[in-house]
A and B are shown apart, each in its own frame.
Chain A
């Protein structure tokens, strides 16, 4: 079918641009190579843990591979918490400088941003769960924890940083992952970040600033104070051959949901929150500008090596991000409108919108 070949082409394009590797070796390979990543080699893991190569180099771990299942579970769990932060643990293993996350499970604790020792509450749960899992054939150990920041981005707060520092002292190797389910839904792409902290007192080499993300005003201080104490790891995803096959078939039933989803409606509150936050930032910038009007001569001498972005530039970026998301949502609605409501007046619309891929007329004359 025409659609299948063009979608295959589109998929290949994206596969090159994105770091998703289907773990199935070469097509036609026998079971030995396929899904090899799923095999858990206990002896190798124990040896690696005894060697502790990360003790010498705080930047040792550079990458994370997350399985499709783990991603799905984390996002669904985070979303189910609504506006409350939730947390859970991740199971997997390490391969050289890469963390491999195979699975994730939720912990029955909430409000992790306000309490220091949320993880301790769940210890008993964790022990029991790990035990049952080992029995059921899930042999991997806990290699990290994840929690959600609903609506305010993927970064580590002060409490998170201290929690993770403790983790990295006593439970190495350990990884911290943050998911933002609200932004995932509004942006239409998964918002996730993986981090490791530097040990206390360690001065990291100057790293290039990672991708800018908008932080709400009430959290920006927390972000700024601690942002140098940890670094982000690259995330790639993997899935098994069976997963790929099933997900392909799933698309055949699934595209209806893609078409019927309406992010504008679902994220009303979040968008309203974003806009009001932007307004506050604007006011703050305005006040600052009023104060420094006379001190503008001093600015050149204070300029740092890297030109610090003025507040106004940041605000501009924030607002364009909101706009882009809204435009995406609106575009979907308009497309759907044309698609379904053009019956009867398709010719008129076709003339006025030559750029869009024309939906075929429903009735052939």
Chain B
């Protein structure tokens, strides 16, 4: 399942936590808030519900609201949930309850109970966990999304939490307000010069980011070429910047069609296409023109890998045919020409988000 998270949810949960923390710190008996569980003053957990839209395998979380938690029964107050749900339905009729959220450092056993209780509203709820501890050294959002899956452990089918990856999705207005509050664009008119400067600074920082990430990929690929890494980590295919890059480069020219594709968020098909492309390219490196020469086993293996390991479901629109020739050639120009290992050599990806590990690996090998 693909998860898309809106920044509003993140700010909402963080605000909920901050409020409760502020309230409990100031009241003497520590029971001032009824929204959080009655835990220790330092580790107050807050609970709530996330709402949004689910289309097929894509789950998009738009908003959230608070819920009452009863520490005695380890469950969420049901009538309260229903009342709130009604209120939110009136204003946002399209949103359904997709799951619940909580704060803490990791998922706990008692959370499973809550999760199960919600399964009658949504057969496959999601659990969003935010770690409110501020750790300046971490580079990733301390937010994890868990799905529940039925696994057979010791012969007994049990429900366990499985981490899922997610992307940040946003509408333009949301992006601007988040930018505004986070990155402090000028709030009022100012002169035309300051506005221009602000606008360009924003783009400049984004491009700088893109540049630094690309350098990392490049270094990684060069190192790999020199034989220091055995596998093409599929993880780098997941990273959105590489997709954006490939999309732009593969396009070749900026037709209006392409503008739309970059302007709106990249479609799942495109992402699947790119990942497919990388797999094909790496497999067919020395051959030209690339055709679907993969053995049946290789082909099915790549398909299976891409289906399970990437966020996007396999798109039947992806073609293993001619049009990819030119795109592989373009990509060829970008990457140094060299031989890459075959698909079969890819290490099995264990599903964890190792976005930062590429840098670590490079650091250790340099």
Inter-subunit contact A258/B202 (CB<8 Å): yes
Inter-subunit contact B83/A255 (CB<8 Å): no
Inter-subunit contact B248/A249 (CB<8 Å): no
Q: Is B151 at the interface (CB under 8 A from chain A)?
A: no
CB-CB contacts below 8 Å: A217-269 with B: 235, 237, 239-263, 265-266
Q: A7-B205, A250-B182, A362-B214 are in contact. Are A256 and B244 (CB under 8 A)?
A: yes
Stretch at the interface among A14-22, A161-169, A280-288, A306-314: A14-22
Within the complex, the shortest CB–CB distance from A63 to chain B, in Å, comes to: 13
Instruction: Tell me the bound Cα distance from A342 to B262 in angstroms.
Output: 16
Q: Is B40 at the interface (CB under 8 A from chain A)?
A: no
Inter-subunit contact A343/B173 (CB<8 Å): no
Q: Which residues of chain B are within 8 angstroms of A15 by Cβ–Cβ distance?
A: 184
Stretch at the interface among A52-60, A72-80, A93-101, A198-206: A72-80
Q: Is B106 at the interface (CB under 8 A from chain A)?
A: no
> What band does the interface of chain B fall in when counting residues whose beta carbon is under 8 Å from A?
35 or more
Q: A76-B173, A125-B90, A136-B66 are in contact. Are A335 and B35 (CB under 8 A)?
A: no
Within the complex, the shortest CB–CB distance from A303 to chain B, in Å, comes to: 27
Inter-subunit contact B189/A137 (CB<8 Å): no
Q: A76-B173, A185-B173 are in contact. Are A132 and B84 (CB under 8 A)?
A: yes
> What band does the interface of chain A fall in when counting residues whose beta carbon is under 8 Å from B?
35 or more
Q: Which residues of chain A are within 8 angstroms of B170 by Cβ–Cβ distance?
A: 254, 257
Inter-subunit contact A335/B176 (CB<8 Å): no
Stretch at the interface among B10-18, B112-120, B226-234, B313-321: B10-18
Q: Is B139 at the interface (CB under 8 A from chain A)?
A: yes
Instruction: Tell me the bound Cα distance from A266 to B174 in angstroms.
Output: 14
Q: Is B180 at the interface (CB under 8 A from chain A)?
A: yes
Q: A18-B184, A241-B134 are in contact. Are A253 and B141 (CB under 8 A)?
A: yes
Stretch at the interface among A33-41, A271-279, A294-302: A33-41
Using CB atoms, name the residue of chain A closest to B90.
A108
Q: Is A189 at the interface (CB under 8 A from chain B)?
A: yes
Inter-subunit contact A256/B201 (CB<8 Å): no
Inter-subunit contact A261/B18 (CB<8 Å): no
Q: Which residues of chain A are within 8 angstroms of B98 by Cβ–Cβ distance?
A: none
Inter-subunit contact A364/B218 (CB<8 Å): yes
Stretch at the interface among B253-261, B284-292, B293-301, B339-347: B253-261
Inter-subunit contact A75/B168 (CB<8 Å): no
Q: Is B206 at the interface (CB under 8 A from chain A)?
A: yes
Contact with A along B11-55 (1 / 0, CB 8 A): 110111111111101100000011110000000001010000000
Inter-subunit contact A189/B244 (CB<8 Å): no
Q: Is A129 at the interface (CB under 8 A from chain B)?
A: yes
Inter-subunit contact B80/A132 (CB<8 Å): yes
> Which of A2, A129, A237, A245 is close to B181, meaning CB atoms less than 8 Å apart?
A237
Instruction: Tell me the bound Cα distance from A189 to B8 in angstroms.
Output: 17
> Which of B177, B203, B245, B265 is close to A258, meaning CB atoms less than 8 Å apart?
B203
Central interface residue in B139, B141, B194, B215, by most chain A CB within 10 Å: B141
> Which of B20, B138, B215 is close to A137, meaning CB atoms less than 8 Å apart?
B20
> Which of B84, B136, B176, B244 is close to A259, meaning CB atoms less than 8 Å apart?
B244
Contact with A along B196-222 (1 / 0, CB 8 A): 101111111111111110110010000
Q: Is A331 at the interface (CB under 8 A from chain B)?
A: yes
Q: Is B351 at the interface (CB under 8 A from chain A)?
A: no
Q: Is A339 at the interface (CB under 8 A from chain B)?
A: yes
Inter-subunit contact B8/A72 (CB<8 Å): yes
**18 additional contacts, CB 8 Å, given A246-B142, A252-B140?**
A3-B209, A6-B205, A78-B173, A79-B171, A136-B65, A138-B66, A243-B15, A246-B141, A248-B182, A249-B138, A250-B141, A255-B209, A262-B263, A320-B192, A340-B245, A341-B252, A362-B249, A363-B333
Can you give 20 contacting A-B residue pairs, CB < 8 Å? Answer: A40-B23, A71-B177, A102-B15, A106-B91, A108-B90, A135-B80, A188-B185, A211-B188, A242-B17, A250-B182, A252-B209, A253-B168, A254-B168, A259-B244, A260-B266, A261-B172, A328-B199, A339-B248, A343-B330, A343-B334
Q: Which 9 A-B pairs have the closest CB atoms?
A: A137-B35, A340-B248, A262-B263, A247-B182, A136-B66, A38-B22, A79-B173, A14-B184, A108-B90
Query: Which residues of A are at the interface with B, using a C-beta cutoff of 8 A?
Result: 1-3, 6-7, 10-11, 14-15, 17-20, 31-32, 35-36, 38-41, 67-69, 71-73, 75-80, 102-103, 105-108, 125, 128-129, 132-133, 135-139, 181, 184-185, 188-190, 211, 235, 237, 239-263, 265-266, 320, 324, 328, 331-333, 335-337, 339-341, 343-344, 357, 359-360, 362-364
